Amino acid sequence: MVAERERYQVELAGKHRSLPIFEVAPGVRIAVFNLLGDTEIVSACAEGLLAKLAAIEYDLFVTPEAKSIPLAHELSRRSGKGYVVLRKVYKSYMGDTVSAETVSITTGEPQQLFLDEKDRARVAQSRVVLVDDVVSTGSTLEGMRQVMGQAGATIVAEAAVFTEGDPERWTEIVALGHLPVFVEGD
């Protein structure tokens, strides 16, 4: 039986979702947004983000593995632009990669982001939009910036479904909404 959890209600791109709240560190809880398997929300979010990106010229979307892959795919499908996934585990068939380290709020552990050799030429000299599901600490975003810098891409926008935490920190992110971080004692 699944535990009954406290939930946080959101309205997103005209769709309602009830997000479960999980503790990710002692005294720190977040509303977890997981778009995997939610075709309706992926479609609505892609439509909303593309509307907000309409005035920006770009060639390619770049996203980290894994939860934001369906969003990048739908953005690509709707816009006719390609997308690239930065992998979190190196495999020998990826060849000569470019990488950077990140620390996600949900894992709390260092992770690597790898740009596959096959995608390096696509990214080089391209105008890219970095895409993630949620920007919280900025670590994944910073890792993506580092990889794109090493690969010779120009970042023209950074987009997410949600920003999280201090909203003043994320004013440059193209987002559809904002999630609070629940800190014990606040």
CATH of 34-177, one of 1.10.10.10, 3.30.420.40, 3.40.50.2020, 3.30.200.20: 3.40.50.2020
Q: 175-186 pLDDT, tens per residue?
A: 999 999 999 876
pLDDT of residue 109: 72
CA dihedral 80, 96, 160, 166 (to 10 degrees): -160
| Residue carrying structure tokens 């390619």 | 60
For the record, the structure tokens of 47 come out as: 């439509």
Which single residue is written with the structure tokens 């690969």? 151
The single residue listed with the structure tokens 């090493």 is 150
Calpha distance 10→16 (Å, rounded): 6
pLDDT at 13: 81
pLDDT less than 50: residues of the chain:
none
Query: Reduced to 3 states, what is the DSSP secondary structure of residue 101?
Result: strand
Judge whether 134 and 64 are in contact, CB under 8 Å.
Answer: no
Helices 39-52 and 69-79 cross at an angle (nearest 10°) of: 60
**Dihedral of alpha carbons 164, 167, 168, 172, sign:** positive
pLDDT 10s digits, 128-149 = 999 999 998 888 999 999 999 9
User: Could you say which DSSP state residue 3 is in?
Assistant: P
